[in-house]
Amino acid sequence: MNFRIKTLTLVFKRSTEVIQFDRISYFFGQMGAGKSSIAQLIDYCLGGDLDLTPAFQQEFVAAALLINVNGTETTIDRQRGSDNVVAVWGESGNENTLLLPARVAGGEVLAGTDVEVLSDFIFYIAGITPPRVRKSKSSEDSALVRLSLRDYLWYCYLDQDTIDSSFFNLEIEANNFKRLKSRDVLRSILGYHQEAVAQLESELLRVRDLKNQMRSGAVLLRETLTNNGITSQEETKEKVEQLGRNLDDVRKRISSLQFEVKRTDVPHIVDSLKDEGRQLARDIDATREGIEALNQLIDTNAAHLNEIKSLKIKYQRGLSARYVLSNVQFESCPRCAQTLPARPVGVCPVCDQNEPTAETSKIDVALIQRDADSRISELAEILQNYELQVKQLYRSYDEQLARKRLVDGKITEEMKRYDSAYLATILEFERRRFELEQMISGLNRSVLLFKKVDEQLARADQLEVKEKGIRESLKEARIAAEKDVQNIRKLERYFLDYLIQAGVPGIQNEDKVNVSTSTFLPLVAPNGGDDVAVTSFSNLSSGGKKVLFKCCFSLAIHRLAVETKASLPNFLIIDSPMKNISERENEDAFRQFHNLVYKLATTDLANTQFILIDKEYCEPDESLDLYVLTRHMTPNNDEFPPLISYYRGH
């Protein structure tokens, strides 16, 4: 999996820190500066847990990791203490956003993709189907579960706390669940989950699920039938035949009664009443529409009348104001307070327009008053007429409703009288006929359900036979894959080579490495030596040796993963490779290990991203022409600030 870490954005209470990464990034400096926290926060964004230091307890808010997975750029945002992450991916301006659990699945969160947690999402955007392994290694019938990104990250993130105390959870003292998962990861890298095995596992899962669905569905149907008193298909068919005979008798009796019942002329009366009722309904609708139309006219004219009255009042107020102001001698402008210029006689001193004559003003006022009063009177008369018409229509409407109720009552009464003789004699038989037909229909459906049960059980038996065949084929495919020791021999060679190049004390060119295909724990034995005299992670004499032993095995795993095209993310974070090793007292080991990493970064692991964290920085040899992004960090020096740039404390 081509996995690139590009930036880590950390939100603190008083600042936001953006940490850049290159293909090789090196963070070094004094303890307490937050170097290891960088690696822990990357892991936190990828679903890991986070132990908060005192500084982070006080200041940390959230983290966002920008990654590129097989060409898809994605931001994973996780708030402090949250069990969920927010993933944003896609082209700029057309991004997709998804809230999903960091670790614990709660159902599909991205429709049609089987994505339930962050690990599934990473595999989804990478376009990779994660390998499936048996949940229980002791049962061939165990359910198949997907390997998680978290399982792979044991080989991608060597954290400071466990770099010298745990060997990828493979040791016998490790948690059993983690140990089995770690072995599954190595099987996938070694090619034991090759394409043929993956296809058979997928087919086995599909057939097993289908078989269980068929069998459980058949059992549920049979239990349902039994609970309803239906025990067998033969018994049900006998009941259907008996009920059929009873139904024939009832139908004959109904036919006989239909000939005996005498009909009266009542239908003619009912028909005429129905005609009258329909006509009344039409009249009622027409009256209602007329009332609505008149009310609308009343509202419109009333509004018009009120508008005219309002305009008349406004005009009178304006007229009064004009009379009041006509005798005022303005010397200054009432708006801007500037002195007004001299005006000719008959011209307004304020607006410079000819003043109307008194005679003209009186004529205009009288004319407007008469016109307004005339219109008001006309509208008032119209409204009075409309209101009178509405009252008449309401009376007519009430009369029509009363007549309609009377006609409906007569129809009901006549129909009762019309049907009474017929219903009294035939209703019971009709009810019985309906009951028998329903019973026969239900029993016929039960017969079909019995057939369905038999078909599903037969199909389940066929699938069980197919499942056994697939299981045998899968077993043979796994054995064949594990017999191919080519990759495990490569792993042994790479591991020994890296131990020697790293200068691990006590390891010789003549030694041999053996990696067990069952435990995958590497043992280093002297050539021709006693089987008891072997070196393993657990019996190494110092913590420094354990660190180098584990780092070299991880490098070998990454190289093999490149060759087998495994799903292992191609980044490696090593936090404190010189833990328990003095860079000055063990300068050769310090340089030899870093030279090994730098050399691999330019050759066999040229596409792998390295993030190194340690006390001291070791520069690559100039001949390698290798760029390393470095950051020197101290807890108190502003020139080389800590992770939380403003924080000074524990």
pLDDT digits (tens, 9 = 90+) for 387-439: 888 888 888 888 888 888 888 888 887 767 655 555 666 667 777 777 877 77
The verdict on residue 142 lying in a domain is yes
- Give residue 588's region: left, alpha or beta (phi > 0; psi -120 to 50): alpha
Question: From residue 163, how far is each of 56, 158, 387, 510, 557 by CA, in Å?
Answer: 23, 6, 97, 27, 16
Of 63-67, 361-365, 525-529, 619-623, the one with minimum mean pLDDT is 361-365
For residue 612, which of 636, 585, 593 has the smallest C-alpha distance? 593
- Across the range 553-563, mean pLDDT stands at 96
Compute the CA torsion angle 136, 142, 147, 148 (nearest 10 deg).
Answer: -80
Given a cut of 80, whether residue 236 has pLDDT beyond it is no
Residue 122 lies in a domain: yes
Looking at the structure, tell me whether residues 19 and 136 fall in a common domain: yes
Report which DSSP code applies to 497. Answer: H
Q: Which of 137-141, 267-271, 368-372, 543-547: highest mean pLDDT?
A: 543-547
Same domain, 11 and 118: yes
**How many percent of the chain have pLDDT more than 70?**
88
Q: What pLDDT score does 160 carry? A: 94
Check residue 484 and give its pLDDT: 66
pLDDT, mean over the chain = 85
Domain count, the chain: 2
Q: Is residue 500 in some structural domain?
A: no
The answer to whether position 475 is within a domain reads no
User: pLDDT digit string (tens) for 325-363?
Assistant: 767 777 788 778 888 888 887 778 778 788 776 555 555
Is 109 within the bounds of a domain? yes
**Do 169 and 312 have their domain in common?**
no
Whether residues 163 and 282 fall in one domain: no
Asked whether 559 and 491 are in contact (CB, 8 A), the reply is no
Q: What is the pLDDT of residue 425?
A: 62
Q: Which of 19-23, 296-300, 344-348, 466-470 has the lowest mean pLDDT?
A: 344-348
pLDDT on residue 203: 79
CA distances from 252 to 240, 241, 245, 422 (A): 19, 17, 11, 16
Position 530 confidence tier, pLDDT thresholds 50, 70, 90 = low
Q: Is residue 647 part of a domain?
A: no
> Cα–Cα distance between 581 and 369 in angstroms, integer?
111
Using alpha carbons, select from 264, 275, 247, 65 the residue that is nearest to residue 153.
65
- Residue of higher predicted confidence among 642 and 230: 642
pLDDT at 374: 85
For range 225-247, the mean pLDDT: 74
Same domain for 165 and 310, yes or no, is no
Domain end, chosen from 402, 417, 432, is at 417
Same domain, 15 and 164: yes
Looking at 385, 417, 449, the residue that finishes a domain is 417
Cα dist from 587 to 22, 30, 590, 621, whole Å: 26, 18, 5, 15
Residue 574 within a domain: yes
The pLDDT confidence band at residue 557, using thresholds 50, 70 and 90, is very high
Are 14 and 142 in a shared domain? yes
d(CA 629, CA 609): 12
Report the CATH number that the domain containing residue 586 is assigned in CATH: 3.40.50
Identity of the highest mean pLDDT range in 33-37, 328-332, 371-375, 528-532: 33-37
Instruction: Please indicate, yes or no, whether residues 275 and 171 belong to a single structural domain of this protein.
Output: no
Domain enclosing residue 408, as ranges: 266-324+358-417
* Cα within 13 Å of Cα(10), Cβ side: 20
Q: pLDDT per residue over 427-480, tens digit each?
A: 677 777 778 777 777 777 777 777 787 888 888 888 888 888 888 887 777 666
Q: What is the CATH number of the domain that holds 315?
A: 1.10.287.1490
For the chain, first and last CA: distance in Å?
Answer: 39
How sure is the predictor about 266, in pLDDT bands with cuts at 50, 70 and 90?
Answer: very low
**Same-domain pairing of 296 and 164:** no
Q: Are residues 144 and 26 in the same domain?
A: yes
pLDDT in tens, 578-606: 988 887 888 888 999 999 999 999 999 99
Q: Read off the pLDDT of each residue in 258-286 and give the average, rounded to a whole number.
A: 72
Domain boundary, last residue among 366, 397, 417? 417
Task: Give the number of residues written for the chain.
Answer: 650
Are 25 and 169 members of one domain? Answer: yes
Contact 188, 482 (CB under 8 A): no
**φ and ψ of 153, to 5 deg:** -70, -15
Least confident piece of the model among 71-75, 227-231, 374-378: 227-231
Q: Same domain, yes or no, for 11 and 133?
A: yes
Name the band, by pLDDT with cuts 50, 70 and 90, for residue 181.
very high
CA angle, residues 273, 279, 281, in degrees to nearest 5: 100
Task: Say what the pLDDT of residue 135 is.
Answer: 67
Would 521 be classed as within a structural domain? no
